[in-house]
Amino acid sequence: MKDNPKKQIITQVAQNIFSRHGLLKTTVYEIAKAARMGKASLYHYFQSKEDIFKEVVEKENRFLKEKIREAIINEDTPQKKMKIYILKKMEYLRELANIHSALKDDYLEHYAFIEKIREKNSKEELFTIRETLQDGEDKGIFEINDIELTAFAIASALKGLEYPWSINISFPEIESNVDKLLEILFNGIVKR
């Protein structure tokens, strides 16, 4: 997808409608109407409904990455970089309805293309964590053996931050939970 204006309009209107109704409830007809064209014309620009949704998710992912890059750019320590990465990702995932849906909605998990999106996202996450660990090690801040396994363990732990605790269990504010978990991951609980 280059700079085709029609394609961008379709993507934009689709982004809005998908984010309100979700992938399944949004019809191709609705998107076409909102883009002021006939339904059949859409297929000149996109191969399928799935293609449109993929494009929308990729657009949101680019936005998310840019926002994270901006936030991290002036941080100097790997600890701060990791914290900002996690918090910004959580924050923007809440706003970006389509990528959130693609990554989190249970009813979408049997679609092969959704599985691919989730896989790509997980790989990017693991990569980012691994890079940050490497950076910290290079700077003599972190001391790590088996960096791959460490990246994986940390990624797993961070997934646990989204665990759906029962409503009757009083759980802390997400940010203090992130802070505390990162503090533990960085410094450990064994006396120094």
* Binding positions for a copy of itself, rule: CB under 8 A: 79, 106, 115, 118-119, 122-123, 126, 133, 136, 140-144, 146, 149-150, 152-161, 163, 165-166, 168-169, 171-172, 176-177, 180-181, 184-192
CB of 49 to DNA, least distance (A): 4
Minimum CB distance to DNA, residue 7 (Å): 10
Distance between CA atoms of residues 39 and 49, nearest Å:
11
Of all helices (H) and strands (E), which one includes residue 128?
helix 112-138
Q: Which does 174 bind (CB under 5 to 8 A by kind): DNA, a copy of itself, none?
A: none
Write down the residue that tokens 């009813």 correspond to: 107
- Residue 39 binds what, of DNA, a copy of itself, none (CB under 5 to 8 Å, by partner type)? DNA
Using CA atoms, how far apart are residues 65 and 47, in angstroms rounded to an integer?
26
| Residues with Cβ within 8 Å of residue 110, at least 6 apart in sequence | none
DSSP labels, 25-75: H--HHHHHHHTTS-HHHHHHH-S-HHHHHHHHHHHHHHHHHHHHHHHHTT-
Asked if 69 touches DNA (CB under 7 A), the answer is no
* Beta carbon nearer to a copy of itself, 43 or 142: 142
Nearer to DNA among residue 17 and residue 182 (C-beta): 17
CB of 111 to DNA, least distance (A): 11
Residue 1 or 141 having the CB closest to a copy of itself:
141
Residue 97 site contact among DNA, a copy of itself, none (CB < 5 to 8 Å, cut-off depends on kind): none
Contact 98, 19 (CB under 8 A): yes
The closest of 37, 93, 107 to 63, measured between CA atoms, is 93
Cβ partners under 8 Å of residue 130, min gap 6:
147, 148, 151
Distance in Å, CB of 87 to DNA, minimum? 35
With CA atoms as reference, report the closest residue to 56 among 8, 103, 90: 8
Nearer to a copy of itself, 6 or 139 (CB): 139
Site for DNA in 7-66 (CB under 7 A): 26-29, 37-41, 43-44, 47-50
Chain residues binding DNA by CB under 7 A are 6, 26-29, 37-41, 43-44, 47-50
